[in-house]
Amino acid sequence: MYEQIENQVKSAKKVVFVTGAGISQESGIPTFRGKDGLWRNYDAMKLATIDAFYDNPKLVWEWYNERRQNIFNSEPNLGHKAIAELENFVKVFVLTQNIDGLHQKAGSSNVLELHGSIVKIKCTVCDFKDELLTEFSNLPPLCKCGNILRPDVVWFGEGLPQDVWQEAIIQASSCDVMIIAGTSLVVSPANTLPIYAKQNNAVLIEINPDETIMSSDMDLSIRSTSAVALPELISIFKKQ
Return the active site residues: 115
Q: How far apart are CA 4 and CA 76, in angstroms?
A: 30
Residue 225 in the binding site for ligand NAD (CB under 6 A): yes
Per the CB < 8 A criterion, the answer to whether 219 and 212 are in contact is no
Measured from the CB atom, is 9 or 29 closer to ligand NAD?
29
In the bound complex, what is the minimum distance in angstroms from residue 220's beta carbon to ligand NAD? Answer: 15
DSSP notation for 207-233: E-SS--TTGGG-SEEE-S-HHHHHHHH
The pattern of x and - marking residues 115 through 144 that bind ligand NAD according to CB under 6 A reads x-----------------------------
Residue 113 in the binding site for ligand NAD (CB under 6 A): no
Residue 31 in the binding site for ligand NAD (CB under 6 A): yes
Per the CB < 8 A criterion, the answer to whether 20 and 98 are in contact is yes
In the bound complex, what is the minimum distance in angstroms from residue 2's beta carbon to ligand NAD? Answer: 18
Kindly determine how many residues on this chain lie close enough to bind ligand NAD according to the rule CB under 6 A: 29
In the set 12, 18, 20, 119, which binds ligand NAD (CB under 6 A)? 20
Q: Which residue is nearest to ligand NAD (CB)?
A: 22
Q: How far apart are CA 145 and CA 94, in angstroms?
A: 36
In the set 17, 32, 53, 93, which binds ligand NAD (CB under 6 A)? 32
In the set 90, 93, 98, 108, which binds ligand NAD (CB under 6 A)? 98
Q: How far apart are CA 5 and CA 1, in angstroms?
A: 9
Residue 108 in the binding site for ligand NAD (CB under 6 A): no
Any idea how long the chain is? Answer: 240
Q: How far apart are CA 156 and CA 160, in angstroms?
A: 10
DSSP 49: B
